[in-house]
Amino acid sequence: MQKLLAALLLALLAAPAVAEPITIVDAAGRSVAIADTSRIVAIGGTVTEILYALGVEDRIVGVDQTSNYPEAAAAKPNVGYMRQLSPEGVLSLRPSLVVAIEDSGPKDTIDVLERASVPFILVPKAHDAAGVVKTIRFVAEAVGEKNKGEALAAAVGEDLATVEKMRDRITEKRKAVFILGMNGTSLMVAGSHTGAADIFALAGVDNALAAMEGYKPAGDEATLAAAPQALVMMSERTGGITDDAVFAAPALAATPAAKDRRLIRMSGTYLLNFGPRTAHAARDLAAAVYPDLKLPVLPARPWTGHDDGAAH
């Protein structure tokens, strides 16, 4: 007890960012004690985005491969793929806390980090509006910023509620296909139980290929039969593929989407991160799929930036 007190005192003197130690039950059901949040390694684009939105970016000492928003995050030291973390690589950043999205690992690395007294907390992944708010609160609490977290969660919750109201204006839902990538003319698409399906649901768009599961190569005829009215691609990985090339693919050439030339290119992190910008992403996607509804723009927030709107 005395030892703990001494450690506490020391910690209080050492860093201003240190709050009272708290214990959090993480996404894997582990109880993690967190004392010092002055040096954070953020694993997962969602986590990084939330930390920036909370305004604690100065405490981030490292990020993973998927943390590419905001752009400044990419300049931080990168610890690689979130499921292949190297214990020494993470330790070399002298972190006091690792905040990682669910499924990060491997287990052996988490064990070593814990033995080095670096708490490793797994953040639950969001799949819907309620989940986004919960994730924000969770991350904020883990880094000792409960109040800022409440404010952020409230603002994002408000935006999500606005999006939900917008969805009510959709009378006839449209079907879209999320194209992950193209090899020549064959498509890699998103089925159900994917982040793409989740953002579609949030935007009031039906996934034309909900019958298949996960990210898979699409059958040409199945895609054609699904008759999507819109195609969605990530702007990051697909720059080299022209609209014409997409519409010329045998699976797509005869679809309503090709007829209307409705190909929506949006940032993948914007669409799939399920963080503070998700309401805006869902609205932008809905606005692009239903241009005739003339959906209103959501209020700009400090964390949404200005250059992530939908582009055609």
Partner 1 sequence: MTTAPPTEAVPAEEAGGPARLSPALALTGAGIAVAVAALLSLAVGAIPIPPSRVIAVLIQSLGGRDAIDPALAGDALVILDIRLPRTALAMLVGAATALSGGVMQGLFRNPLADPSLVGVSAGSALAAAAWIVIGGSLAASIAPVVGTLGLPLAAFAGGLVASVILNVMATSGGRTSIVGMLLAGIAINGLAGAGTGFLVFIASEQQLRDFTFWTLGSLAGATWIKVLLVLPFAVAVALVAPMLARGLDAVALGESAAFHVGVPVERLKRIAIVAVAGAIGAAVAVSGVIGFFGLTVPHIVRLACGPGHRLLLPASALLGAALLTLADVVARTAGAPAEVPLGVITAAVGAPLMLWLLAARRRSMGE
Contact mark string toward partner 1, 106..145, x via CB under 8 A: xxxx-xx--xx-----------------------------
Read off the DSSP letter of residue 78. Answer: B
Residue 47's φ and ψ, nearest 5 degrees, are -60, -45
In the complex, the smallest distance separating the C-beta of residue 117 from partner 1, rounded to whole angstroms, is 9
Question: Contacting partner 1 (CB under 8 A), which of 55, 80, 296, 299?
Answer: 80
x/- mask, partner 1, residues 163-202, rule CB under 8 A, reads: ------------------------------xx--------
| Cβ contact 273:49 at 8 Å | yes
Instruction: Check the CA dihedral 14-16-19-25 and report its sign.
Output: negative
Residue 260 as a binder of partner 1 (CB under 8 A): the answer is: no
Beta-carbon contacts of residue 243 (< 8 Å; ≥ 6 apart): 261, 263
Task: Give yes or no for residue 294 binding partner 1 (CB under 8 A).
Answer: no
x-or-dash string of contact with partner 1, 213-252, rule CB under 8 A: -xxx------------------------------------
Burial of 186 (0-12, 13-18, 19+ CB in 10 A): middle
Size of the site for partner 1 (CB under 8 A): 32
* Rounded-to-5 percentages of helix, strand, coil across the chain: 40, 20, 40
Cα dihedral 96, 276, 157, 214 sign: negative
Q: Return the residue of 25, 33, 83, 245 that touches partner 1, per CB under 8 A.
A: 83
Which residues contact partner 1 by CB under 8 A?
62, 65, 77-81, 83-93, 103, 106-109, 111-112, 115-116, 193-194, 214-216
